[in-house]
Amino acid sequence: MKIVMEEAPALKDAIEAIVNLVEEGVFEIGEEGVKLKAMDPSQISMISFSMPKKIFREYSAGEQKRIGLDISKFSKMLARGVSGESVEMGVEEGRLILTFKGGKKKRTFRLPLLDLGEGLEREPKIEYKNSVVINADALREVLKDAKLVSTHITLIADEKKFRVEIKGDDGEISEEFEKDGVALKELKVGAPAKATYPLSYMEDMIKAAKSETDITIYLENDRPLKMEYAVAGAEAKYYLAPRIESA
């Protein structure tokens, strides 16, 4: 296996989409690229992550393989790469080998592989009739507002608006985004939908999104939220379980 990313920081940016939710995970290295599907430790959220081989400068996967990694340690090693350096990934004697090259210098890091089983969790099979495309920074600001009064956030989509409601012991907040506005890029509603989700998980899910990124949210009544966006050429897709109010 030999996989080379032209700019090392780009690989770190992509892995940021995983590290905020998942402690350990199994990467599948195949002909089409690198994939990972994993649940967070609490089993409340899930990520489906993929890096197509076209985003790499060189991609030779060899025989399809699965490698288990400590995602946090992997991310910290990748953070040592700087602009102008490439990073090469390989596997040798039960270790992931990361080699940074640039400026006539080479640095090699070795990270032990973990035995985590097969990996590749199944994604929820839900038919989503509603979708919202919103700017990452706009959504980030909504979550900052929400933290002032609650640990949960309610998302509402209808034919004309995307709305957010937050209620807690410290107060209430409501925000509206009209269709075709600056922040709300797209709104498709088959049937009005409303659901409540834990705020901290949504914060973790969008941490890797750059300011200019468009985030797509799929919403159904009291069903898992689906969120997806691109980062450094990779595709990050998340699912988050709703909070169901007791009668």
pLDDT by residue (tens digit) across 205-237? 999 999 999 999 999 999 999 999 999 999 999
**Any idea which residue has 């007791």 for tokens?**
246
Cα angle for residues 198, 78, 240 (degrees, 5° grid): 15
pLDDT at residue 247, rounded to an integer: 44
* Structure confidence at residue 245 (pLDDT): 66
- What pLDDT score does 244 carry? 76
Q: Which two tokens stand for residue 192?
A: 């009005």
* 176: in domain: yes
Closest by CA position to 225, among listed 159, 142, 136, 132: 132
| pLDDT of amino acid 119 | 59
**How would you list the strands of the sheet with 2-5, edge to edge?**
58-60, 2-5, 86-92, 95-102, 105-112
Domain containing residue 64: 2-112
Nearest to 85 by CA among 4, 6, 2: 6
The mean pLDDT of 51-65, rounded to a whole number, is 92
pLDDT in tens, 5-49: 999 999 999 999 999 899 999 999 999 999 999 999 899 999 999
Residue 72 forms part of a structural domain? yes
Closest CA to 27 of 120, 122, 123: 120
**Three-state DSSP class for residue 139:** helix
Q: Indicate if 106 and 198 belong to the same structural domain.
A: no
Mark whether 91 and 148 lie in a shared domain.
Answer: no
Instruction: Over range 76-86, report the average pLDDT.
Output: 96
CATH of residue 214's domain is: 3.70.10.10
Under the banding of pLDDT at 50, 70 and 90, the label for residue 79 is: very high
CB 223 within 8 A of CB 231: no
The mean per-residue pLDDT over the stretch 94-117 comes to 94
